[in-house]
Amino acid sequence: MPPSHSRPKVNELSLLGKPTVVKNPARIPAAIRTCRNLREVGQLHAQFVISGFIIDGHRTAGKLIESYVSMSHISNALSVFHSIHSPDAFAYNTIIRGLTQANFPYDSLLLYQQMLLRGLIPDNYTYTFVLKACSHLNSLFEGQQVHSRIIKAGISPDTHLHSSLIHMYATNSNSDCLGCAQRILSDFSVQNTVIINSMISGYLRHGHVKIAREMFDGMVAKDAASWSTMVSGYTKNGMYVEAFVVFREMMMSHIPPNESTLVSALSACAQLGALDQGRWIHAFVDRKIGTGITTLTLATSLVDMYAKCGSINCGFQVFEKMPQRDVVTWGVIISGFAMHGQASKCFRLFDEMLATGIRPNAVIFVAILSACSHAGYVEAGRLYFNQMVQDFGIRPSIEHYGCMVDILGRAGHLAEAEELIVSMPEEPNSIIWGALLGACRTHNDPRRGERAFRRLIELEPMSGDRYKLASHIFTAAGEKEDAIKMRRLIKEKELETTCGSSFIVVDGVVHEFMVGDTGHSEARDIYMMLEEIKRRLKMAGFVARRDQVLLDIEEEEKEEALSRHSERLAIAYGLLSTKAKTLIRVIKNLRVCRDCHSAIKLISKEFDREIIVRDKNRFHVFKGGECSCMDYW
DNA sequence: TTTACTAAGT
């Protein structure tokens, strides 16, 4: 402790080794206010405990709880709260707020109930916080009860309470509530930005993008939250390009982005694989360091963005520099390496995480198991699955079973995979059967595939994709009749199938290609490039795998159809529009087919380009004729 | 003589 020349503040006294009682209780709240961090609050708190000072009464307890809540230290806040004999409304309000903030909304409601039982009168603050808890819990029934109590109590809602009510209804997963929110909105003559933001976020949540946009455009005063809401709303609705355009508009407006906007924009970058934009945001964040903009969430988003854009090493650099990490951060980095097929790195990070004392949650195990699946580590997968249940008491969710089916199925243990599905305590969903169906395709097992397929169409009768996959399986097994039948059914039942599409970002512009797309402004050149690719691949001895095409067409046409897969168009455009040796990054919405996979390997060699393809499941880094997935995906 | 509303990372 360096010698201090100025008078020590109250909360510094204990550091001088002399626990001191604050004599005048009236001064205590002021003393608490001077605390700048958790440690100082703790010191003051300790003084009360040591000196036997009665915290109850006055405003001391409330202020202490408030300090802990504002410093996100809910357990200390709770211990103070529970030490009070008869907490007042302020103490209740603050702890209710803190519990929701700390993600324990259910406990908030319990304390609200206790508060009522004790005869305390809830005020506007109470209702605001309780409604927030209801929003978190997505519990309409409780929300409605609170709403009616507000009405019965004759409380006239102020702006805060009003926006909480609207938020509760607008963001409930039951889309009927949108109407309630809308009615409350129109009943209230003064409409402020916060309320409109809530309404917009409700519309976006239910996919009414157009209405949301109109409301947003009509806003007189947009704030940072309005912009963030739009950016994240577009991202959640899969409209990544629009998300980006809005973000750019915001950067040009006079409203500076805050942490949330940047997090939303980074999430759009991650989905879109827009590495350059992501880097730009990273540089922007770096410039702002010192203004307190870089928080745990933002840094985690950066790691996630790099991982999902295929730059796992940059992501890891950010990760290593982070002063603190929570379980989400670890989840991001582990699933990042999992997507890149680097299972052993995932295992090391998992051990490191345990060593820092962070308890893994269910998501961490999904990441670890998916790493096992991508790398083909069957035994490790079994071990982690058991460890999760036995050592950490995590009940396996449908996702975990999905990973296990995937691990076993991909590795060819189809019977065991099917047994696992049958033994599941929960009813298997379409993801589970889908994983088995996919594995049956990889390992040519049409009979088992048929069983999986039948279960799938019971669950998702309108998914044409499943019929398509089944038809692939029959084609590969040489059962042409059945394959054709599947395709006929897709037509007859007018089922929707997901069309293959790929993105490539060149000079900040997103170019999207569908299968056989001719709509691009440079389509002529792209198709000429495809011809050139075909010529060079042929010279290098490439033979297309025609069994990948199920259409009932001539052999030559099949080859033609394969060469127009969306990822090939995107790569052709990449070769065409970037300088020699520039890395090409492509994002595809489905899995890469075997034929394209072998073709891209060869393209990387013949054209001397590193090509990174992110497909539905993972990354493929093609370089010098090889792929990072070692042909296992 | 205290507390609020919106947006955000696996």
Q: Please tell me whether residues A441 and A508 are part of one structural domain.
A: no
pLDDT of A469 strictly over 80: no
Q: What is the mean pLDDT of residues A309-316?
A: 92
Give the distance, in angstroms, between residue A216 CA and nucleotide B1 C1': 39
pLDDT given for residue A291 in this prediction: 67
Q: Please tell me whether residues A439 and A568 are part of one structural domain.
A: no
Q: What is the CATH classification number for the domain harbouring A135? A: 1.25.40.10
pLDDT tens digit sequence for A424-433: 888 888 888 8
Q: Which residue is nearest to nucleotide B3 (CA to C1')?
A: A94
Q: Count the domains in chain A.
A: 4
Q: Which nucleotide is nearest to A299 (CA to C1')?
A: B9
Rounded Cα distance between A420 and A342, Å, is 26
pLDDT given for residue A135 in this prediction: 93
| The two three-digit tokens of residue A263, written as one number | 């997090």
Give the distance, in angstroms, between residue A353 CA and nucleotide B7 C1': 30
Give the distance, in angstroms, between residue A316 CA and nucleotide B7 C1': 27
Classify residue A372: in a domain, yes or no.
Answer: no
Classify residue A349: in a domain, yes or no.
Answer: no
pLDDT tens digit sequence for A192-204: 888 899 999 999 9
DSSP string, A214-252: HHHHT-SS--HHHHHHHHHHHHHTT-HHHHHHHHHHHHH
Give the distance, in angstroms, between residue A418 CA and nucleotide B10 C1': 28
Q: Please tell me whether residues A100 and A124 are part of one structural domain.
A: yes
Q: Does the model's pTM come out above 0.85? A: no
Strand B nucleotides where any atom sits below 7 Å of a protein CB: 1-10
Give the type of residue at A537. L
**Taking the CA of residue A595 as centre, how many other CA atoms within 13 Å lie in the half-sphere pointing to its CB?**
19
Beta strands in A488-531 (DSSP E): 501-506, 509-514
Q: Which nucleotide is nearest to A233 (CA to C1')?
A: B7
pLDDT of A56 strictly over 60: no
Q: Shortest CA distance to A463 belongs to which of A492, A431, A498? A: A498
Q: Which nucleotide is nearest to A90 (CA to C1')?
A: B3
CB A344 within 8 A of CB A374: no
Q: Which residue is nearest to nucleotide B2 (CA to C1')?
A: A63
pLDDT tens digit sequence for A133-171: 999 999 999 999 999 999 999 888 888 898 899 999 998
pLDDT given for residue A4 in this prediction: 35
pLDDT given for residue A259 in this prediction: 87
Higher pLDDT, A454 or A290: A454
HEC secondary structure over A145-189: HHHHHHHHCCCCCCHHHHHHHHHHHHCCCCCCHHHHHHHHHHHCC
Q: Name the domain boundary from A311, A338, A361.
A: A311
> pLDDT averaged over chain A?
84
pLDDT of A252 strictly over 80: yes
Q: Which residue is nearest to nucleotide B6 (CA to C1')?
A: A194
Classify residue A157: in a domain, yes or no.
Answer: no
Q: How confident is the model at residue A8 (pLDDT cuts 50, 70, 90)?
A: very low
Classify residue A187: in a domain, yes or no.
Answer: no
Give the distance, in angstroms, between residue A264 CA and nucleotide B8 C1': 6
Q: Which nucleotide is nearest to A304 (CA to C1')?
A: B9
pLDDT given for residue A530 in this prediction: 87
CB A501 within 8 A of CB A563: no
Q: Which of A552-561, A566-575, A604-613 has the lowest mean pLDDT?
A: A552-561
Q: Which residue is nearest to nucleotide B5 (CA to C1')?
A: A160
User: Which of A282-296, A452-466, A503-517 reaches the highest mean pLDDT?
Assistant: A503-517
Q: Which residue is nearest to nucleotide B8 (CA to C1')?
A: A260
Q: Please tell me whether residues A410 and A517 are part of one structural domain.
A: no
Q: Which nucleotide is nearest to A97 (CA to C1')?
A: B3
Q: Please tell me whether residues A295 and A240 are part of one structural domain.
A: yes
Q: Which of A292-296, A511-515, A590-594 has the lowest mean pLDDT?
A: A292-296
Classify residue A161: in a domain, yes or no.
Answer: no
Q: Which nucleotide is nearest to A301 (CA to C1')?
A: B9
Q: Shortest CA distance to A265 belongs to which of A290, A240, A286? A: A240
pLDDT of A583 strictly over 80: yes
Give the distance, in angstroms, between residue A427 CA and nucleotide B10 C1': 25
Q: Which nucleotide is nearest to A127 (CA to C1')?
A: B4
Give the distance, in angstroms, between residue A203 CA and nucleotide B2 C1': 36
pLDDT given for residue A488 in this prediction: 81
Give the distance, in angstroms, between residue A370 CA and nucleotide B7 C1': 31
Q: Please tell me whether residues A478 and A572 are part of one structural domain.
A: no
Beta bridge partners of A514: A501
Q: Please tell me whether residues A143 and A15 are part of one structural domain.
A: yes
Give the distance, in angstroms, between residue A154 CA and nucleotide B2 C1': 24
pLDDT of A20 strictly over 50: no
Q: How confident is the model at residue A336 (pLDDT cuts 50, 70, 90)?
A: very high
Give the distance, in angstroms, between residue A128 CA and nucleotide B4 C1': 7
Q: Name the domain boundary from A482, A497, A512.
A: A497
Give the distance, in angstroms, between residue A142 CA and nucleotide B5 C1': 19
Higher pLDDT, A498 or A532: A532
Q: Name the domain boundary from A497, A518, A535.
A: A497
CB A607 within 8 A of CB A623: no
Q: Please tell me whether residues A482 and A616 are part of one structural domain.
A: no
Domain span at residue A287? 222-311
Q: Which nucleotide is nearest to A197 (CA to C1')?
A: B6
Q: How confident is the model at residue A29 (pLDDT cuts 50, 70, 90)?
A: low
pLDDT given for residue A92 in this prediction: 94
Q: Please tell me whether residues A522 and A623 are part of one structural domain.
A: yes
Q: Which residue is nearest to nucleotide B1 (CA to C1')?
A: A59
Classify residue A181: in a domain, yes or no.
Answer: no
Q: Please tell me whether residues A228 and A299 are part of one structural domain.
A: yes
Classify residue A341: in a domain, yes or no.
Answer: no
pLDDT of A108 strictly over 90: yes
Q: Which nucleotide is nearest to A228 (CA to C1')?
A: B7
Q: How confident is the model at residue A19 (pLDDT cuts 50, 70, 90)?
A: very low
Q: Please tell me whether residues A520 and A486 are part of one structural domain.
A: no
Classify residue A452: in a domain, yes or no.
Answer: yes
Phi and psi torsions of A619, nearest 5°:
-100, 145
Rounded Cα distance between A281 and A293, Å, is 12
Number of neighbouring beta carbons within 10 Å of residue A556: 10
Phi and psi torsions of A565, nearest 5°:
-55, 145
Q: Any idea which residue has 């940059």 for tokens?
A: A314
pLDDT given for residue A12 in this prediction: 37
pLDDT of A523 strictly over 90: no
Q: Please tell me whether residues A484 and A506 are part of one structural domain.
A: no
User: Which of A36-40, A458-462, A622-626 reaches the highest mean pLDDT?
Assistant: A622-626
pLDDT of A17 strictly over 50: no
Rounded Cα distance between A48 and A14, Å, is 11
